[in-house]
């Protein structure tokens, strides 16, 4: 997975965040502090916008566990994202369940249809995370 992430990150930087693989212009790079290690980790993720907010889903392709970056954001709410050529700090708000989570997850599936299949592959509720720019 690390090699795949590195390849996508390199492609993101080479293309200045535009036209990346099947995700097009809907990919961001999320840098979090490891909940256990304390080390910085960068992960490419599909996003959609909800007004000024960026929304990501902790789908892990429908795996039975949440991705590591989700645990990192639960522990440390501050992170950094790269979108296109911009890089900025964000405050993360995990939304593990509820009406707002359902609305945002459905909108996420409208951006990238594959996300509609992930809930069928797992018994867990796939959380979403709202990322808001820190001004």
What CATH number did the domain enclosing 31 receive? 2.30.110.10
Does position 92 have pLDDT exceeding 70, yes or no?
Answer: yes
Domain count, the chain: 1
With beta carbons less than 8 A apart as the criterion, state whether 123 and 71 touch: no
Q: Is 19 left (phi over 0), alpha (psi -120 to 50) or beta?
A: left
pTM, rounded to two decimals: 0.94
Residue 27 confidence (pLDDT): 96
pLDDT band for position 2 (cuts 50, 70, 90)? low
Task: Look up the domain containing 13 and give its range.
Answer: 2-133
16-25, 36-45, 80-89, 122-131: the lowest-pLDDT one: 16-25
């Amino acid at each position: 997975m690390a090699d795949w992430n590195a390849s996508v990150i390199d492609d993101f930087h080479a293309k200045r965040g535009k036209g990346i693989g099947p995700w097009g212009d809907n990919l961001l790079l999320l840098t979090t502090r490891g909940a256990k290690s304390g080390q910085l980790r960068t992960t490419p993720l599909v996003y959609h916008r909800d007004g000024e907010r960026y929304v990501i889903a902790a789908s892990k392709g429908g795996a039975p566990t949440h991705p590591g970056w989700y645990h990192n954001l639960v522990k440390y709410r501050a992170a950094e994202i790269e979108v296109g050529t911009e890089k900025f700090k964000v405050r993360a708000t995990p939304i593990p369940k509820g009406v707002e989570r359902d609305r945002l997850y459905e909108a996420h599936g409208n951006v990238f249809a594959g996300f509609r299949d992930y809930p069928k592959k797992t018994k867990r509720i796939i959380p979403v995370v709202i990322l808001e720019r820190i001004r």
